Amino acid sequence: MSFREVASEAGLPEYVRRRPGGFYRSVNPSTKLAIAALEVVAAFVVPGWPGPVLVLGAVLATAAVARRLRGLGIIALAASPIVGSILLINIFLLPGASDPIARLGPLAPTWSGLWFGLQTVARLFAFSAAIALVYLTTAVDDLLADLVRRGLGRRAAFVVGAAVQMVPRTIERAGEIVDAQRARGMDTEGRFWRRARGVVPLAAPVVFGALTEVEERTMALEARAFSAPGRQTLLRIPVDGALDRDLRWTALLGLVAVVGLRIAGRLG
């Protein structure tokens, strides 16, 4: 079965075709994945500063043009506790560092600690941002559709797609459960011990409620021929143009090249 039957798309309503528009957003999902892979590997494999800085620069530039800087900002904010920890630990406790910034009693922050800490943070941001960019510019079902077209099994795609949809629903349900148990007099604020006792009455219905649905969901899937053999038809397939293909191959080759250079010791 050929997936390039663009003509057959004629019968699809527009709300199904949903072609993403905009810079980077319209790039094929697998291409974006390949680019992200290159960026992640480069951030780790290229030693010192050039790796993280170049990657971060590329990602931020792309995000700026794609107008997704705010999303990256939110993610960066969410990472602030870990950034704080990394900096603190390295500033004060880098073993073998001997260039103190100051002496604060028994503690001696060091320049090399600060340097190393900043580098680690830069690397962390670089690779997180690279992956986040894919997420911020790609709809999950587009990504899955593209992977299925390239051979990902329908069952794996189902697991990922269903899990993504189920998480918000489970959270909503957890909220209802909190309400239901509060209506039975359970105290949800208060001292630690009270909160600890509340874990089971809150977590158990979430778990059991979700599990007891498994049987019915299984039947519903079988009732829709889910276990049929052969390849699944895809109603909508993300576009994969010549530019997308070229970018993808370039990224993959770049990835191989970077790893090769590192192994050969050429990156210092």
Partner 1 sequence: MAIELSGVRYRYAGAAKPALTSIDLRLEPGRVLGVVGANESGKTTLCLVAGGFAPGVVGGRLEGSARIDGVETRSIPTHALALHCGLLFQNAATQLSNTTATVFEEVGFGPCNLGLAVPDVIERIWWALRAVGIEDLAPRDPARLSGGQGQLVALASVLALRPRYLILDEPTSELDPAGTALVVGALARVAEETGAGILLVEHKTDVLARIADEVVVLGDGSVSFAGPAAAVLADPVLAQLGVEPPAPVALERDVRAAGLDWPVELGGSARPGSAQAGLSDSSSVAPSAMSSSEPSAPSSSDPSATPSIELERVSFSYPDGTRALENVGLRIGPGELVAIVGQNGAGKSTLVRHLNGLLRPTAGRVLLDGRDIRSMHVARLAGRVGLAFQNPDRQLFAGRVSSEVAFGPSNLGLRGAGLDERVRAALDAVGLRPEADSNPYDLGYSRRKLLSLASVLAMRTPILVLDEPTTGQDARGAARVRAVVAAAAEQGRTVIAVSHDMRFVAECFRRVVVMRAGQVVLDGTPDVAFGEASWRELRAAYLEPPFAAVAGARLGLGATPTTSSFVAALARRAG
Partner 2 sequence: MDLLRRWVARQFTTRVIVLMPVAIAINIVLGATVQQALKLPIYLDSIGTILVGVLAGPLAGALTGILANLIWGYLLPAPIGTSTVGPFAITAGVIGLLAGVWGQLGLFRPRRGGAISAIGAIFAVVLVGALAVYTYARAYASPDQFANVTGFKPTEIDQSRVFFLAVMVVYVVLVGAALYLRRDVGAVFAIAAGLVTGIVAAIVSAPIAAIVYGGVTGSGTDALVAAFRAGGDSLYQATLKQGLLSDPLDKMITSFVVFFIIGSLSRRFVARFPNGEKAILVGSEPGAPAASEG
Binding residues for partner 2 (CB under 8 A): 44, 74-75, 78-79, 81-86, 88-90, 92-93, 95, 117, 120, 124, 127-128, 131-132, 134-135, 140, 155-156, 158-160, 162-164, 166-171, 174, 192, 195-196, 198-199, 203, 206-208, 210-218, 221-222, 226-227
* Smallest distance, partner 1 to C-beta of residue 150, A: 17
Distance separating alpha carbons of residues 58 and 77, to the nearest angstrom: 20
Distance separating alpha carbons of residues 251 and 39, to the nearest angstrom: 9
DSSP classification of residue 48:
T
* Smallest distance, partner 1 to C-beta of residue 30, A: 19
Q: Tokens for 26, please give them.
A: 């319209």
Q: Tokens for 146, please give them.
A: 């593209």
- Give the nearer residue to partner 2 in terms of CB position, either 195 or 231: 195
Residue 186 interacts, among partner 2, partner 1, none and using kind-specific CB cut-offs from 5 to 8 Å, with partner 1
Contact of 42 with 51, CB cutoff 8 Å? yes
Residue 49 interacts, among partner 1, partner 2, none and using kind-specific CB cut-offs from 5 to 8 Å, with none
H or E element that contains 130: helix 111-137
- Give the nearer residue to partner 1 in terms of CB position, either 118 or 177: 177
Distance separating alpha carbons of residues 161 and 210, to the nearest angstrom: 17
Instruction: Using CB under 8 A, list all residues that contact partner 1.
Output: 1, 5, 8-9, 11-13, 15-16, 18, 141, 144, 154, 157-158, 161-162, 165-166, 169, 173, 176-177, 179-188, 200-201, 204-205, 208-209, 212-213, 215-236
* Smallest distance, partner 1 to C-beta of residue 65, A: 27
Contact of 100 with 94, CB cutoff 8 Å? no
What dihedral angle (degrees, nearest 10) is formed by the CA atoms of 29, 33, 38, 41? 170
